[in-house]
Chain A
Amino acid sequence: MSMTILTWSLMAAQFMLAIAMVCACLRMFRGPRAQDRVLAMDSLYLNGMGLMLVFGIVSGSTLYFEAALVIALLGFVSTVALAKFLMRGEAIE
Chain B
Amino acid sequence: MFRRLPETASDSAEVTLWVDGEPRQVGATLSVAAALLQQHGWAEYRLHHDGTPRAPLCMMGVCHDCLITIDGEPNRQGCLVIVKDGMRIETQMPAAQPTPGASTG
Is B one of A's binding partners? Answer: no
